[in-house]
């Protein structure tokens, strides 16, 4: 196979694969109830984590095989030292059209300006509540103000759009769905409600599941919602707007209305495993091949095989919460 493949690759199910989610660390400075247990999980030893040089080589090969958008994730991507220098290097990869980031926002205030300079124009921030006490209960850390200051700093350095990821949980934050929706009248943010997924620490909490349908119905009480066209290389959100709002409202129906038929993504974990699907533990071990000194052609074949054999979908529903071995914080969402 040719490592310099020019056109985007299709998988066996005729889906174009052009989006890579790259988890740069499994470490995190929060302990969200649906993602990690209170005591945390044992973090991967340093030597198991790809160096930035190794990641850069694998990203270049993914780009040669059709990837055009990359999202840094974690754990929490901003806790890994040297992240700005790494983004600057990614930014030099010619065919990469977009580099972006999903963060919990704890370190955003100090990083926003450098992120913007390094080439990140927009970010997604996880923020499940507008109330400090609830933030402490959800993330198990008292850092609500810091995250909001980070979001405001990102706005003031010109990041746009800023997308807020809200995992919807019955009895926890569902009383704030309308407040989040109203926020789009005041701020140009995209508020995205995510259906809770049965993965890792969330399993025990699935009784708090709220469907995208229910979320949309509740928001409709505020006025008519207009459906908007998806962006190019978009992620899984369906996007709407309330009449006259500055911001947008998204719903990510990961379980009830899943988007596997149009899935465009791969995931590379911090320890160098390429995953075809969030919910499938079938992984391609790029790290071992890389560290054995395999050439670009060999590594490229592994990437192309993973694309070709990407699982068709997840087949999960509320009554079938299959478990993944790898926890969410080691995949990156
Ligand atoms: N089931 C499933 N969930 C996904 C997938 N991609 C992202 N998510 C979930 O969607 C939520 C939002 O993810 P983000 O990291 O903000 O990324 P995104 O929605 O692709 O971002 P945009 O590029 O801004 O559209 C998180 O809960 C992710 O776990 C996917 O391919 N499958
Ligand atoms: C795993 S986190 C990694 C990036 C960063 N630490 C953050 O929280 O934004 C990526 C996304 O996955 C979401 N997530 C984690 N566990 C989830 C679950 N069980 N169901 C739905 N979304 C989940 C988070 O809310 C976050 O938006
Ligand atoms: S969702 Fe993100 S911030 Fe929360 S524990 Fe998981 S990795 Fe950390
Ligand atoms: S569950 Fe798997 S196939 Fe479906 S959208 Fe997510 S990553 Fe893609």
Q: What ligand is nearest to the CA atom of residue 30? A: 3
Structure tokens belonging to residue 125: 């921030």
With H, G, I as helix, E, B as strand and everything else as coil, classify residue 101. Answer: strand
- Rounded CA-CA distance 31/27 in Å is 10
Atom of ligand 2 nearest to the CA of 124: 9
Q: To which residue do tokens 């052009």 refer?
A: 18
Please report the pLDDT score of residue 206 as a whole number: 81
Contact call for residues 232 and 247 (beta carbons, < 8 A): no
Confidence of residue 323 (pLDDT cuts 50, 70, 90): low
- Rounded CA-CA distance 29/115 in Å is 19
Asked whether residue 212 is marked as a ligand-binding residue, the answer is no
- Rounded CA-CA distance 191/95 in Å is 29
Contact call for residues 119 and 99 (beta carbons, < 8 A): yes
Structure tokens belonging to residue 196: 């809770």
- Rounded CA-CA distance 264/250 in Å is 18
Beta strands in 127-200 (DSSP E): 162-168, 190-195
- Rounded CA-CA distance 62/56 in Å is 10
- Rounded CA-CA distance 312/259 in Å is 11
d(CA 30, ligand 3 centre) in Å: 6
Find residue 46's DSSP bridge partners.
none
Q: Could you tell which of 25, 32, 150 is best to mutate to test the pocket of ligand 3, judged by most ligand atoms within 8 Å of the CB?
A: 32
d(CA 3, ligand 3 centre) in Å: 35
Contact call for residues 161 and 189 (beta carbons, < 8 A): yes
Average pLDDT over residues 235-256: 95
The pLDDT tens digits of the residues spanning 16-38 come to 999 999 999 999 999 999 999 99
Handedness of CA 25, 31, 36, 38 (dihedral sign): positive
- Whether the CB of 104 sits within 6 Å of ligand 2: yes
Asked whether residue 265 is marked as a ligand-binding residue, the answer is yes
CA angle 19, 22, 25 (to 5 degrees): 165
Q: What ligand is nearest to the CA atom of residue 250? A: 1
- Rounded CA-CA distance 26/44 in Å is 7
pLDDT more than 90, % of the chain: 85
- What residues does each domain of the chain span? 2-331
**Domain range 2-331, CATH architecture:** Alpha-Beta Barrel (3.20)
Asked whether residue 71 is marked as a ligand-binding residue, the answer is yes
d(CA 307, ligand 2 centre) in Å: 24
With H, G, I as helix, E, B as strand and everything else as coil, classify residue 190. Answer: strand
- Whether the CB of 236 sits within 6 Å of ligand 2: no
Contact call for residues 166 and 127 (beta carbons, < 8 A): yes
Q: Could you tell which of 23, 24, 36 is best to mutate to test the pocket of ligand 3, judged by most ligand atoms within 8 Å of the CB?
A: 36
The pLDDT tens digits of the residues spanning 127-176 come to 999 999 999 999 999 999 999 999 999 999 999 999 999 999 999 999 99
Q: What ligand is nearest to the CA atom of residue 24? A: 2
């Amino acid at each position: 196979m040719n490592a310099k493949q020019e056109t985007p690759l299709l998988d066996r199910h005729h889906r174009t694969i052009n989006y890579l989610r790259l988890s740069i660390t499994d470490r995190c400075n929060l302990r969200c109830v649906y993602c990690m247990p209170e005591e945390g999980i044992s973090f991967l030893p340093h030597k198991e984590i790809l160096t930035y040089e190794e990641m850069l080589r694998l990203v270049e090969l993914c780009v040669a095989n059709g990837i055009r958008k990359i999202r840094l994730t974690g754990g929490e991507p901003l806790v890994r030292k040297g992240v700005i220098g790494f983004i600057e290097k990614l930014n030099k990869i010619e065919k990469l059209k977009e580099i972006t980031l999903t963060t919990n926002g704890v370190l955003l205030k100090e990083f926003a300006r450098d992120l913007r300079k390094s080439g990140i124009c927009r970010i997604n921030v996880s923020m499940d509540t507008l109330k400090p006490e609830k933030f402490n209960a959800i993330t198990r850390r008292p850092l609500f103000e810091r995250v909001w200051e980070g979001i405001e700093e990102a706005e003031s350095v010109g990041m746009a759009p800023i997308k807020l990821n809200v995992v919807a949980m019955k009895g926890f934050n569902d009383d704030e769905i309308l407040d989040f929706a109203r926020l789009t009248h005041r701020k140009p943010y995209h508020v995205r409600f995510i259906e809770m997924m049965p993965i890792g620490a969330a399993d025990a909490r699935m009784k708090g599941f709220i469907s995208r349908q229910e979320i949309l119905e509740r928001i409709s009480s505020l006025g008519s919602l207009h459906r908007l066209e998806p962006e190019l290389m978009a992620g899984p959100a369906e996007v709407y707007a309330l009449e006259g709002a500055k911001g947008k409202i998204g719903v990510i129906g990961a379980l009830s209305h899943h988007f596997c038929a149009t899935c465009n993504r791969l995931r590379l974990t911090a320890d160098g495993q390429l995953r075809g699907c969030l919910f499938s533990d079938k992984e391609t071990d790029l790290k071992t091949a890389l560290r054995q000194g395999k050439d670009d052609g060999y590594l490229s074949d592994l990437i192309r095989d993973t694309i070709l054999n990407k699982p068709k979908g997840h087949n999960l529903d509320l009554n079938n919460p299959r478990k993944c071995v790898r926890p969410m914080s080691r995949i990156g969402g």
